[in-house]
């Protein structure tokens, strides 16, 4: 939960002492700790300083705790969950290299083998389907219906 050295001290993340990749739980925890410190009714700081800081913390939390507002804010400051957005060094030349997805937090289910638990679930699912078909055939035979 340390301050990021990539972003200036004026971001909502730095106000809460967080990196932009912080989880919702980290954001809530940081907000609660700071609101206890800077709440005008409970702090020893001068009232005007405490009120200003508390309002900034509230504004940061209101933005970062709302997924849509957080995404919009992240784009505004140039942060992306898939990588930091950086402008090309030469703006007259298009960027030719594609994005390296291996460095992102995105996981593709086809990039890994099935776990033993997933194989077991598929086995049970297959048994259930075969069992239901056999049950339907048995009921049809007991009723005397013709099976083609």
Same domain, 74 and 23: yes
Same domain, 72 and 129: no
- Over range 39-68, report the average pLDDT: 88
DSSP 144: T
**What's the CA gap between 6 and 77, in Å, rounded?**
11
Q: Is residue 126 a part of any domain in this protein?
A: yes
Q: Which domain holds residue 140?
A: 116-147
Q: Is residue 142 a part of any domain in this protein?
A: yes
Residue 121: both structure tokens together: 């679930």
What is the count of structural domains for the chain?
A: 2
Farthest-apart Cα atoms in the chain, separation: 90
User: Is the pLDDT at 144 greater than 80, yes or no?
Assistant: yes
Q: Is residue 93 a part of any domain in this protein?
A: no
Same domain, 68 and 120: no
Q: What is the pLDDT of residues 30-51, one digit of tens each?
A: 999 998 888 888 888 888 888 8
Same domain, 27 and 77: yes
Backbone φ and ψ of 66, nearest 5°: -100, 115
Q: Is residue 123 a part of any domain in this protein?
A: yes
Cβ atoms of 1 and 18 within 8 Å: the answer is yes
Give the model's confidence band at 81: pLDDT under 50 very low, under 70 low, under 90 confident, else very high: low
Q: What is the pLDDT of residues 120-138, one digit of tens each?
A: 999 999 999 999 999 999 9
- Over range 98-109, report the average pLDDT: 50
Q: Is residue 50 a part of any domain in this protein?
A: yes
Q: What is the pLDDT of residues 13-32, one digit of tens each?
A: 888 988 888 888 999 999 99
Same domain, 123 and 74: no
Q: Is residue 36 a part of any domain in this protein?
A: yes
* pLDDT number for residue 124: 97
Q: What is the pLDDT of residues 1-17, one digit of tens each?
A: 444 444 445 789 888 98
The residue that leads in pLDDT, 38 or 114, is 38
**What's the CA gap between 97 and 126, in Å, rounded?**
44
* pLDDT number for residue 36: 86
Looking up tokens 């049809």 gives 140
Residue 124 Cα distances to 13, 117, 120, 130, 142, angstroms: 46, 11, 6, 10, 26
Same domain, 126 and 77: no
Q: Is residue 108 a part of any domain in this protein?
A: no
The residue that leads in pLDDT, 90 or 79, is 79
DSSP assignment string, 2-31: PPPSSS-TTSHHHHHT--TT--HHHHHHHH
Of 72, 75, 37, give the one whose Cα is nearest residue 56.
37
Distance between first and last Cα of the chain: 67
* pLDDT number for residue 67: 87
Residue that finishes a domain, picked among 57, 81, 105: 81
Which CATH number covers residue 27?
Answer: 1.10.287.110
Q: Is residue 109 a part of any domain in this protein?
A: no
- Over range 80-99, report the average pLDDT: 56
């Amino acid at each position: 939960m340390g301050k990021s050295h990539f972003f200036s001290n004026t971001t909502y993340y730095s106000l809460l002492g967080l990196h932009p990749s912080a989880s919702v739980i980290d954001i809530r925890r940081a907000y609660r700790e700071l609101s206890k410190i800077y709440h005008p009714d409970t702090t020893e700081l001068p009232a005007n300083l405490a009120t200003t800081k508390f309002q900034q913390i509230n504004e940061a939390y209101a933005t970062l705790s709302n997924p849509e507002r957080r995404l919009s804010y992240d784009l505004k400051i140039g942060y992306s969950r898939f990588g930091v957005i950086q402008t090309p060094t030469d703006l007259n030349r298009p960027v030719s290299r594609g994005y390296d997805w291996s460095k992102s937090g995105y996981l593709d289910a086809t990039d890994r083998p099935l776990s033993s638990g997933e194989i077991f679930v598929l086995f049970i699912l297959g048994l259930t389907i075969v069992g239901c078909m056999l049950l339907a055939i048995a009921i049809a035979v007991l009723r005397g219906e013709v099976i083609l």
